[in-house]
Amino acid sequence: MTASRKKLFVKTFGCQMNVYDSGRMIDALAGEGFESTDSIDEADLVILNTCHIREKAAEKVYSEIGRIRAVKEARAQSGKDTMIGVAGCVAQAEGEEIVRRAPVVDMVVGPQSYHRLPELLAQARDRAVVETEFPVEDKFDHLPAATGTRLRMGGPTAFLTIQEGCDKFCTFCVVPYTRGAEVSRPVGAILEEARHLAGAGVREITLLGQNVNAYHGADRDGGLRTVGLAGLIEALSRIDGIERIRYTTSHPRDMDDDLIAAHRDIPQLMPYLHLPVQSGSDRILAAMNRKHRRDEYIALIERIRAVRPDIAMSGDFIVGFPGETDADFADTMDLVRRVAYAQAYSFKYSPRPGTPAAAMDDQVPEPVMKERLAALQALIDQGQKAFNAAMVGRTIPVLFEKPGRKPGQLVGRSPYLQPVNVDAPESLRGQIVEVRVTSAGPNSLFAERVGGGTQSEGTDSGRTDSGRAAMEAVS
């Protein structure tokens, strides 16, 4: 039976939500007899799950299709068919244009239609299909749950999408167009998925949404009331086996009092917060339509740090937004110094078709953007190094995820999301173990187990052991 299964190769670009979606597409096609493979050469169906956020990301799709065409031709020589699908945000944004530009593509499917993959695939056997409507039904109501096999391969951490789309319309951003309006999944469906994950051995869940803290899902009373992110996290923290909860990406305007309090009151909620600000200049923030000022952002972080002093802050920045002057950029550098981020991402502004900023005057020349990006990245790196160095000598819990850099090592994550390499036996994979940090690199930590420990050491070994048993039990 297994030998005759068709093979599916999915390549994922972009954000964590695409990683999550790729998993759901694999689940949706498992029912059609597809099994996922890491080798494109044996794939009967190749799906590119694409990202449209910056020009470079979008252009990758076409170079990738070129490569797959070569694989398809080579397979055809030995009588094998290969179908090519383009999913994700480029599919949504470009639709028909993809098939025009790359006729080798059989199927284009936007993120809201993944539950229709089986029927679209059947249609695509006759002619190319393009599906970029926003359907009235909710794809999550129709997508099958993940199988135990796929969950086990994912290890002890998992993503769980709770909210999709965005109503904020920052002037630089394509997300409101590619992912549509903000929609929150109901609490009951999320809890059910989380229990399923916990039963398969998952210890840490990262809740995903383009505006995850704008979450307001229908409660289990039939949707009479809605629950915010803090309430959802509280409910998730009661699930046996879920020992760590994270969420991303948040918008500063949706950081309410309950969510701030959750960082004080819910031990499973990890002390790490990705809270993008994009710019430190009030003028640029206004032009970006971010709808808050820099001092409000700084005050917000002070309030969060007041309840959770050790919280590690992360952010996103865009340099060279249209009209950004040296003084505006200096404001961004100043904000980065004041916030002291544990880490952050920074990007050169990329004009995106159809967004208001792309039509603005005063586009910043490439060499200026390049220079600003280098300066900002150097400052962020410096902050990250200092944050990592400050961990040396501390004892912290690490959730071991996979083999580490060297044989005999495992790598896991600290509460602050730093990768930590430790000499540890394979049997500790999936467990949370106390380790002492011995040294720090720019991007990761090195640590040793405390007390020479046995396999049963760790903060919650009883619970993780039962999780492990459950993990074996899932097919």
Q: Binding of ligand SF4 at residue 175 (CB under 6 A)?
A: yes
Binding partner selected for residue 51 from ligand SF4, ligand SAH, ligand F3S, none, CB under the kind-specific 5 to 8 Å limit: ligand F3S
Task: List binding-site positions for [4Fe-4S] cluster.
Answer: 15, 51, 89, 166, 170, 173
Nearest Cα neighbor of 444 from 374, 309, 305, 343 is 343
Which residue, 48 or 89, is less far from ligand SAH as judged by CB? Answer: 89
Rule CB under 6 A: is residue 50 a binding residue for ligand SAH?
no
Q: Cα-Cα-Cα-Cα dihedral of 392, 398, 404, 405, to 10°?
A: -20
Under the criterion CB under 6 A, does residue 86 sit at the interface with ligand F3S? no
Give yes or no for residue 352 binding ligand SAH (CB under 6 A).
yes
- Euclidean distance between CA atoms 455 and 81, whole angstroms: 49
- Min. distance of Cβ 237 from ligand F3S in angstroms? 27
- Report the nearest approach of ligand F3S to the CB of residue 93 (Å): 8
Q: Using CB distances below 5 to 8 A depending on partner kind, what does residue 350 bind out of ligand F3S, ligand SF4, ligand SAH, none? A: ligand SAH
251 binds ligand SAH (CB under 6 A): yes
Query: Which residues 6+ apart lie within 8 Å of 186 measured at CB?
Result: 217, 218, 219, 220, 223
Task: Please give the DSSP secondary-structure letter assigned to residue 242.
Answer: -
CB 160 within 8 A of CB 193: yes
Residue 148 touches which member of ligand SF4, ligand SAH, ligand F3S, none, C-beta under 5-8 Å by kind: none
Which of the 8 DSSP states describes residue 343?
E
Judged by CB under 6 A, the chain residues 195 through 224 that form the site for ligand SF4 are 210-211
Q: How far is the CB of 369 from ligand SAH (least distance, A)?
A: 10
- Determine the Cα–Cα distance for residues 324 and 285; give it in Å rounded to an integer: 10
Using an 8 Å Cβ cutoff, are 441 and 404 in contact? no
| Binding partner of residue 169 among ligand SF4, ligand F3S, ligand SAH, none, CB cut-off 5 to 8 Å per kind | ligand SF4
Write the interaction track for ligand SF4 spanning residues 268-307; mark x where CB under 6 A is met and - where it is not.
----------------------------------------
- For the annotated binding site, the residues are 15, 51, 89, 166, 170, 173
Q: Does 48 bind ligand F3S (CB under 6 A)?
A: no
Out of 173, 198, 411, 445, the residue judged to bind ligand SAH by CB under 6 A: 173
What amino acid occupies position 406? K
Alpha carbons 321 and 233: distance in angstroms, whole number = 35
- Give the list of residues 6+ apart from residue 414 with CB closer than 8 angstroms, or none: 391, 396, 397, 398, 420, 445
- B/e letters for 268-281, b = 16+ CB within 10 Å, e = fewer, are bbbbbbbbbbbbbb
Give the residue, chosen from 26, 29, 53, 344, that forms a contact with ligand F3S under the rule CB under 6 A.
53
Label residue 76 exposed, middle or buried (CB < 10 Å: 0-12, 13-18, 19+): exposed
Closest CA to 304 of 296, 94, 154, 424: 296
Residue nearer to ligand SAH on the CB measure, 42 or 316: 316
Write down the least CB distance from residue 370 to ligand F3S, Å: 22
Q: Does 343 bind ligand SAH (CB under 6 A)?
A: no
Describe the crossing of helices 16-30 and 117-124 by its angle, rounded to 10 degrees.
70
What is the DSSP secondary-structure string of 402-413? EE-SSTTEEEEE
Question: Rule CB under 6 A: which of 342-371 touch ligand F3S?
Answer: none
Judged by CB under 6 A, the residue of 28, 48, 89, 173 near ligand SF4 is 173
Distance CA 60, CA 98 (A): 13
Q: Is 170 in the site for ligand SF4 (CB under 6 A)?
A: yes
Q: Which residues bind ligand SF4 (CB under 6 A)?
A: 166, 168-170, 173, 175-176, 210-211, 251
Q: Which residues bind ligand F3S (CB under 6 A)?
A: 14-15, 17-18, 51-53, 88-89, 174-175, 178-179, 210
